[in-house]
């Protein structure tokens, strides 16, 4: 039996920042369900936000983050993470785009009051950051690709997470152990029919943590990106907010600007405002486009987006890109502190799978890669300085399970119903309908996942995440950030700074900033 010092599930920016920052005397294992580059981080077109420009400062960056998050943020997390942003940029400054004077180019994105977004390769920041971190991986780090982790191993004597069960492509189950078990599996955007997320982003880590009894928080806050390329009835990929930052505007098929009079920032309003506005026009029978005719040298500034448009037969010479809003980023997840400690001893979560409170009710653009870099670096410092040993009992190493089929509705039905009933605009009636439909499937009551295929387990995890989002959205009777209830269309101060924490037992625990918890069945 091989015992790793550090066992990391996932291979996005947070996972690779952690692995590449650990000391070389640590035995590190990275498990990834696909290949190391098949992640949301690799697809990230936007950049990394940092208050490094003239006239900018930490206070302004904090203020913008709190405003976008509708003041649901953890203030201490906001200040701590954003304060580290300049040094995190400096750690890999060579990969970022510079102007003719050799200074960092600073872009503007929605809800930012200053130009503070650094990019790499124009609109390929995620790809360049991931490649940089992969290049830094050392010989003490082993990467296992196409291995699907699906269950946390808990030592019942120590009450500590000590590893994971995982399946390979042949269905063989293996046990992997670690003194530190880190979930860096991303969010769950694939539970919606329109999404910018990679196909692998199905909420695996969140479901695993939930099933093991860890605290899950803020699942009602899903950010819907306003502009996904839309053609042939499908969302084909992300059109970065930086395109609007450069001057593109949203228009209907006849060229009517849709954000006029909606918000003072117009097309650069917070994402939930823009997404809801686009949806309103689509529901009235309009088509919505990004008008890029005012942007000079679009192909040079946005090479990845240009390639995606060409591949999908969009004629950029016409100056219009058809768009639709879709799921993009989960503000909630596994409840953690700043370095990723969960409520379950030995289990850590970093990146989008975690919730530090940085993003509040709505993530400020380009704060997410920043959070992943921060958590990976800080958790590595904690592990490097910890000399404790965590012995574990002997467990079997591999076995071939008997087979069983999960009889669940087709996953496309889940995606469509989540988009209609628990998507951009929500109501009690539709959320109740979705909750009852999900509840009758009894996915939360499965006692063992061993007999099911990787495809079936992934579907089960998607249904679990859908239930968590639906239940939390039903519980929060207000609108705030990424959570919009048309039957409760306004913010309610009673709900500000109130966390909805969900546990396996089936209760929702509502924790107020002050006072005792209230339990809701």
CB 181 within 8 A of CB 346: yes
271 is catalytic: yes
Same domain, 416 and 513: yes
Mean pLDDT calculated for residue range 403-407: 84
Q: What is the tens place of the pLDDT at every residue in 213-252?
A: 999 999 999 999 999 999 988 898 899 888 998 999 999 9
| CATH of residue 500 | 1.20.58.100
| Whole-number percent of the chain with pLDDT over 90 | 80
The residues pairing with 198 across neighbouring beta strands, listed in sequence order, are: none
Segment 72-76 long-range contacts (CB within 8 Å, at least 24 positions apart): 72/218, 72/221, 72/360, 72/361, 72/480, 72/481, 72/496, 72/497, 73/357, 73/358, 73/359, 73/360, 73/361, 74/356, 74/357, 74/358, 74/360
Q: Which of 278, 307, 325 is the last residue of a domain?
A: 325
What's the token pair of residue 148?
Answer: 């699907």
Burial of residue 83 (CB within 10 Å: 0-12, 13-18, 19+) is middle
At residue 5, the 3 state secondary structure works out as strand
Give the range of the structural domain holding residue 267, as residue numbers without chain letter: 227-325
Sign of CA dihedral 134, 135, 137, 142: positive
Does residue 320 lie in a domain region?
yes
pTM of this structure: 0.91
CB 502 within 8 A of CB 444: no
Q: Which of 262, 294, 325 is the last residue of a domain?
A: 325
Does residue 169 lie in a domain region?
no
Q: What is the tens place of the pLDDT at every residue in 357-383?
A: 999 999 998 999 999 999 999 999 999
Sign of CA dihedral 241, 242, 246, 248: negative
| Beta-sheet strands, E only, within 71-201 | 117-118, 141-144, 148-155, 160-167, 173-183
- Does pLDDT of 517 surpass 70? no
Q: Tell me what pLDDT residue 134 has.
A: 97
CB 475 within 8 A of CB 495: no
Closest CA to 292 of 239, 254, 224: 239
Q: Tell me what pLDDT residue 229 has.
A: 96
244, 271, 421, 480: the catalytic one is 271
Same domain, 406 and 311: no
Does residue 390 lie in a domain region?
no
- Does pLDDT of 506 surpass 70? no
Does residue 494 lie in a domain region?
yes
Sign of CA dihedral 312, 328, 49, 336: negative
Instruction: Report the greatest alpha carbon distance in the chain.
Output: 68
Q: What is the tens place of the pLDDT at every residue in 90-119?
A: 999 999 999 999 999 999 988 899 999 999
The CA-based angle 377-209-512, given to 5 degrees, is 85
Mean pLDDT calculated for residue range 243-271: 94
- Does pLDDT of 520 surpass 50? no
Does residue 512 lie in a domain region?
yes
Does residue 262 lie in a domain region?
yes
Q: Tell me what pLDDT residue 446 has.
A: 79
Does residue 153 lie in a domain region?
no
Q: What is the tens place of the pLDDT at every residue in 170-191?
A: 899 999 999 999 999 999 999 9
Closest CA to 182 of 452, 372, 37: 372
CB 30 within 8 A of CB 141: yes
Q: Tell me what pLDDT residue 295 has.
A: 94
| CATH of residue 271 | 3.90.700.10
Q: Tell me what pLDDT residue 393 has.
A: 65
| Pairing verdict, β 28-31 and 216-217 | unpaired
Q: What is the tens place of the pLDDT at every residue in 272-326?
A: 889 989 989 998 999 999 999 999 889 998 999 999 999 999 999 999 999 999 9
Q: How many domains does one find in the chain? A: 2
Q: What is the tens place of the pLDDT at every residue in 434-487?
A: 999 999 988 877 778 999 999 999 999 999 999 999 999 999 999 999 999 999
CB 181 within 8 A of CB 7: yes
Q: Which of 325, 359, 375 is the last residue of a domain?
A: 325
Same domain, 410 and 516: yes
Does residue 514 lie in a domain region?
yes
Q: Tell me what pLDDT residue 444 has.
A: 73
């Amino acid at each position: 039996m091989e015992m790793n010092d550090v066992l990391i599930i996932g291979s996005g920016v947070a996972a690779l920042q952690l692995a590449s920052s650990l000391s070389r005397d640590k035995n590190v294992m990275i498990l990834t369900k696909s290949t190391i580059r098949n992640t949301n981080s690799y697809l990230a077109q936007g950049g990394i936000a940092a208050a490094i420009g003239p006239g900018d400062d930490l206070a302004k960056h904090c203020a913008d983050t709190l405003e976008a998050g509708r003041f649901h943020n953890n203030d201490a997390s906001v200040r701590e993470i954003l304060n580290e942003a300049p040094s995190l940029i400096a750690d890999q400054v060579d990969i970022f785009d510079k102007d003719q004077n050799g200074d960092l180019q600073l872009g503007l994105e929605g809800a930012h009051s200053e130009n503070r977004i650094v990019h790499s390769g124009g609109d390929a920041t995620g790809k360049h950051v991931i490649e940089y971190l992969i290049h830094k991986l050392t010989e003490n780090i082993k990467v296992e690709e196409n291995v699907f982790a699906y269950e946390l191993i808990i030592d019942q004597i120590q009450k500590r997470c000590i590893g994971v069960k995982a399946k390979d492509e042949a269905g063989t189950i293996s046990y992997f152990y670690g003194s530190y078990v880190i979930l860096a599996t991303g969010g769950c955007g694939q539970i919606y029919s329109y999404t910018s997320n990679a196909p692998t982003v199905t909420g695996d880590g969140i479901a695993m943590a939930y099933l093991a009894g860890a605290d899950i928080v803020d699942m009602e806050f899903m950010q819907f990106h306003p502009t996904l390329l839309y053609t042939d009835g499908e969302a084909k990929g992300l059109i970065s907010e930086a395109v609007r930052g450069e001057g593109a505007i949203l228009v209907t098929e006849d060229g009517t600007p849709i954000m006029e009079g909606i918000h003072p920032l117009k097309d650069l309003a917070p994402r939930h405002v823009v997404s809801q506005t686009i949806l309103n026009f689509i529901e009235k029978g309009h088509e919505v486009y990004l008008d890029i005719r005012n942007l000079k040298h679009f192909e040079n500034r946005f090479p990845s987006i240009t390639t995606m448009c060409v591949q999908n037969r969009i004629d950029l010479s016409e100056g219009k890109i058809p768009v639709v809003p879709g799921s993009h980023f989960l503000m909630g997840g596994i409840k953690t502190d700043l370095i990723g400690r969960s409520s379950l001893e030995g289990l850590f979560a970093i990146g989008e799978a975690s919730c530090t409170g940085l993003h509040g009710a709505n993530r400020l653009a380009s704060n997410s890669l920043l959070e992943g870099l921060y958590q990976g670096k800080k958790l590595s410092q904690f592990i490097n300085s910890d000399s404790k040993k965590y012995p574990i009992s002997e467990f079997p190493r591999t076995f071939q399970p008997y087979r069983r089929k999960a009889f669940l509705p087709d996953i496309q039905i889940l995606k469509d119903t989540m988009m209609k009933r628990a998507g951009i605009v929500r109501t009690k009636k539709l959320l109740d309908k979705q909750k009852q439909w999900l509840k009758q499937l009894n996915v939360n009551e499965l006692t063992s996942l061993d007999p099911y295929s990787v495809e079936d387990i992934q579907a089960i995890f998607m249904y679990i995440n859908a239930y968590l989002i639906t239940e939390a959205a039903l519980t929060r009777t207000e609108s705030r950030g990424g959570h919009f209830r048309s039957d409760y269309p306004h913010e309610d101060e009673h709900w500000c700074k109130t966390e909805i924490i969900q546990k396996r037992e089936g209760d929702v625990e509502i924790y107020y900033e002050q006072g005792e918890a209230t339990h809701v069945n």
